[in-house]
Structure 1
Amino acid sequence: MYTLGERIRTLRKQRKLTLEALAGEQLTKGMLSLIENNKANPSMESLSYIAERLGVEAAELMEEVSSGELQEVLEKVEKLYHTEFDNLTDEHDQIIALIEPYADKLNQGYEAGRLLEIYSRTLHAERKDGWQIYSDKAAQIFDQLNLIPRLAAIGMFRAMVKFTEHDYESSLEILLKERKAIEARNVFIDSLTRLDFDYLQAVLHFAVGNPDEAIRVMKRGIEFSKKERVFYRIDHLYRMASFNAMMMGDEESRKYYNRKLELYADLSDDEEPRFFNKFSQVHFLTTYKKAYQEALDYIHDFFNEHQLPSYFSPYVSLEVGKAHYGLGKYDEALKHLEKVKIPDFLNHPFDLSLFYAKDAYAALCHFALGEKKKAIASIEEAVTNITPMPPSPYKDFIMETLESIQTTS
């Protein structure tokens, strides 16, 4: 936090002025040096003179936190906040350290609102108390400024907090309430905000077991994106559509959406949709087509030749384990299944259910090896995890595996 003297010195240097140049005719170089080093307080007349020569208002110099200072902090924070997931180290700690001295003094202006928004999100990510207070304060500032996209982003964040707690009903309720409040203001909602709402709304309807409404909202988002030629979120919508088509056994639609993702990857030069497509194909081969050797060959041909993001590793281990199970290589399957750790960032029931099924595959491997106690322990783990989840092919598979093991034990 800058003192008055430090603020004057910072502005002087930014404007490339010497002490003598800023002092001019009304101040001595020595007096100005004392002021900058907080060893003397300027009179109001001197302060107004200094402010005029620096090209700012005297009130800005006297503010506990100036807008220029906040802008400087915000630039550093934004850079840290947008660090790629795979490259994260201590960025959250740095963000908190930068904003904390200012947090309780941020009351107005975009910079203050944005800093509070990032601060609240970072506190939540680090599981620290008090994030709600700063989130509410940020929302109040953006409300006063009528910044609808930022206000909407905070509303979505509040909904997703409940999502990460696996309280899907509350998450959807909050999202719908926030969207309704914004739409009731009769203001223009930009395309990106609308697509964010559609995407998250579809995600949450799937999460609470409303597939028909989820598909309706999802298709609405895709059509809006195509009509407006706004491709933001389109890859996420296509992924969701592809995954849903796979679970519904609609192979024609799955291939259609996967082709769309390939086109998007070519257009955007983004490899992540292509990685999703490759995983989707492997998952289809192991889970639905039961073509286990083909799946292993596919993995070898693609995944071993490309640098995968670290968060894809659990998916690959899962599919390799399933393929080895299908080929009767139970020890090899267990070796890969034991490597599977559910990523912390996964919270959707379908993603979780996909991974919970690994314990059912492990149970089948143990059972085939004559390890009945381990088989029962594994399938009970899978059942405990899957029970609160909405209906899905993965839930059906786990419950069928339970019945099979119980019947043959």
Structure 2
Amino acid sequence: MSTLGERIRAIRKQRKMTLDALAGDQMTKAMMSYIENNKANPSMESLSYIAERLGVKVSELMEEINPQEVREVLKAVEKIYTGETEDKYKKIIDAVRPYIESLDQGYEAARLLELYGRALYYEKMDNWIEVIDKATALYDQLNLTSRLAAIGIFKSIVKFTKREYEDSLAILLEERSKFEKRNGLIEPLIRLDFDYWTSLLHFAVGNSEEAVRIMNEGIEFSKSQQIFYRIAHLYQLAIVNAMMNKDISAISYYENKILHYGVFAEDRDAIPFINFVKIHYLTSYEKSFREAFELIKEHHNEYGFDESNTSYSFMGEKGKALYGLGRYEEALACFKEVKIPHYAHHPFDLSILYEKDAYAALSHMALGNKAEAKRLIEIAVENISAMPSSPYKDFIMKTYNTIAS
């Protein structure tokens, strides 16, 4: 099996090029000699430059890849993937693309293909499905069930992020069925992933009873196995469901569970999330606007309104409380600050956020701005129409009837 350096030398000699000619004005003759004799490994930038000078694709130079080199690339790509840089998916694509045609066997190749396919999807580029399918085939050969499950869930989430909830649930149920038929017993972490996403998607399509059943099974399984992976997410689903059903005892029960888990896991989002639940219940369900406003001030003094602390909008809650206190101009200023975050896809999250347009419409009505009130409530109705039944949908439609009459 020829090395990278040997392939570069062979192609250079075929082109009747000297080391000086190949080095050009961006590399030294000495460095080119080190690379050809495998005493130095070129960076991807240098490799692209060499390929361009030779008139070939980088993939031709990389036709036979050193396994250690692939491991190093995977290590670097995993680090990028778990990082928080804005351009991380572009970096992954650039890092993996030169190797893509040679990734045909082994775990490292499969994982690089998976990460490359995910990056292509997030960058809205073509062929991500083909790449993911190739990764799936390699994982299948290796019988890596955890990675097969992760890819199956990813395919479902793709539909979920497009708000195609029925399709997302159908894909997830099919993937889970295939997985169970193939493997019998499911590994605990994989089962909890399936339980969480299946419950969440049943809620998304309005199958509340089935969602609650699976959610409770996931919670009980987590307790029985003493595995707390996904438990916070399952508790959050449970508390939102309890809130929508106005089940005070269940809300209190899951509040305590989330807070206890937050202490155990050192989860800084636990208290902000519970604060949001308390405030939101007061504004949307109890209409206790003054009490809610006092809690909002307490939360703001301690935590601020940093949206990274929670997946919900405290600014929207502040606007609703101000509306209830008759401070309409201040309420509208708050509502203008509310943006739907890029990660909000579930009907629960979206319905809560859409509710603010109804309150903004009511604020304009109170100020005598009927035309603007009508425009905003029509936006709220259009947004909520595709969502399943909920107290938020009922409130928006009731507000529409009030304003339109």
TM-score, structure 2 as length reference = 0.84
Name which of 370, 373, 377 aligns with 1:372: 370
Unaligned residue ranges in structure 1 (runs of 5+): 9-32, 41-60
Secondary structure at the aligned position of 1:346 is classed as coil
Counterpart contact for 2:364–2:372, Cα < 8 Å? yes
Correspondence for 1:237 = 234
Name which of 328, 331, 349 aligns with 1:330: 328
Residue identity over aligned pairs, in percent, reads 50
Correspondence for 1:52 = none
Correspondence for 1:38 = 36
1:66-81 matches, cutoff 5 A: 66-81=66-81
Is 1:4 equivalent to 2:4 in the alignment?
Answer: yes
Correspondence for 2:154 = 157
Q: CA deviation at 1:104?
A: 2.5
1:24-63 matches, cutoff 5 A: 36-38=34-36
Counterpart contact for 1:261–1:273, Cα < 8 Å? yes
CA distance in 1, matches of 2:402, 2:62: 75
Q: CA deviation at 1:307?
A: 5.9
Q: CA deviation at 1:37?
A: 3.2
**Alpha-carbon distance change, 74 to 308 in structure 1, aligned in 2, over 3 angstroms:** farther
Higher deviation after alignment, 137-146 or 103-112: 103-112
Correspondence for 1:393 = 391
1:3-22 matches, cutoff 5 A: 4-5=4-5
Counterpart contact for 2:62–2:102, Cα < 8 Å? no
Name which of 125, 137, 150 aligns with 2:134: 137
Unaligned residue ranges in structure 2 (runs of 5+): 9-30, 39-60
1:166-177 matches, cutoff 5 A: 166-177=163-174
CA distance in 2, matches of 1:227, 1:34: 61
Q: CA RMSD in A?
A: 2.3
Secondary structure at the aligned position of 2:296 is classed as helix
CA distance in 2, matches of 1:395, 1:237: 23
CA distance in 1, matches of 2:110, 2:373: 53
CA distance in 1, matches of 2:265, 2:224: 18
Counterpart contact for 1:148–1:189, Cα < 8 Å? no
1:85-234 matches, cutoff 5 A: 87-234=84-231
Q: CA deviation at 1:62?
A: 9.4
Deviation >6 Å, runs of 4+: none
Counterpart contact for 1:161–1:171, Cα < 8 Å? yes
**Alpha-carbon distance change, 271 to 34 in structure 1, aligned in 2, over 3 angstroms:** closer
Q: CA deviation at 1:39?
A: 7.0
Letter in 2 for 1:338: K
* Number of residues of Structure 1 aligned to a counterpart in Structure 2: 360
Q: CA deviation at 1:3?
A: 5.8
Query: What per-residue deviation string (whole Å, max 9, x for no partner) do you get for residues 143-192 of structure 1?
Result: 00000010000000001111111111110000000010011013442111
1:252-291 matches, cutoff 5 A: 252-291=249-288
**Alpha-carbon distance change, 376 to 258 in structure 1, aligned in 2, over 3 angstroms:** same
Q: CA deviation at 1:89?
A: 2.0
Letter in 2 for 1:361: Y
CA distance in 2, matches of 1:216, 1:273: 24
Q: CA deviation at 1:75?
A: 1.0
Secondary structure at the aligned position of 1:279 is classed as helix
Q: CA deviation at 1:110?
A: 0.7
Letter in 2 for 1:250: D
Secondary structure at the aligned position of 2:183 is classed as coil
Counterpart contact for 2:70–2:108, Cα < 8 Å? yes
TM-score, structure 1 as length reference = 0.84
Q: CA deviation at 1:403?
A: 0.7
**Alpha-carbon distance change, 166 to 275 in structure 1, aligned in 2, over 3 angstroms:** same
**Alpha-carbon distance change, 34 to 262 in structure 1, aligned in 2, over 3 angstroms:** closer
Correspondence for 2:379 = 381
Q: CA deviation at 1:93?
A: 1.6
Correspondence for 1:340 = 338
CA distance in 1, matches of 2:111, 2:193: 19
CA distance in 1, matches of 2:154, 2:278: 32
Counterpart contact for 1:6–1:36, Cα < 8 Å? no
Query: What per-residue deviation string (whole Å, max 9, x for no partner) do you get for residues 345-395 of structure 1?
Result: 111111111111111111100111000000000000000111111001100
CA distance in 2, matches of 1:133, 1:212: 36
Correspondence for 2:349 = 351
CA distance in 2, matches of 1:132, 1:224: 33
Query: What per-residue deviation string (whole Å, max 9, x for no partner) do you get for residues 228-259 of structure 1?
Result: 00000000000000010000110110110110
Correspondence for 1:29 = none
Correspondence for 1:361 = 359
CA distance in 2, matches of 1:189, 1:285: 41
Query: What per-residue deviation string (whole Å, max 9, x for no partner) do you get for residues 319-353 of structure 1?
Result: 01111011111000000001111001111111111
**Alpha-carbon distance change, 39 to 258 in structure 1, aligned in 2, over 3 angstroms:** closer
Counterpart contact for 2:62–2:98, Cα < 8 Å? no
Higher deviation after alignment, 171-180 or 71-80: 71-80
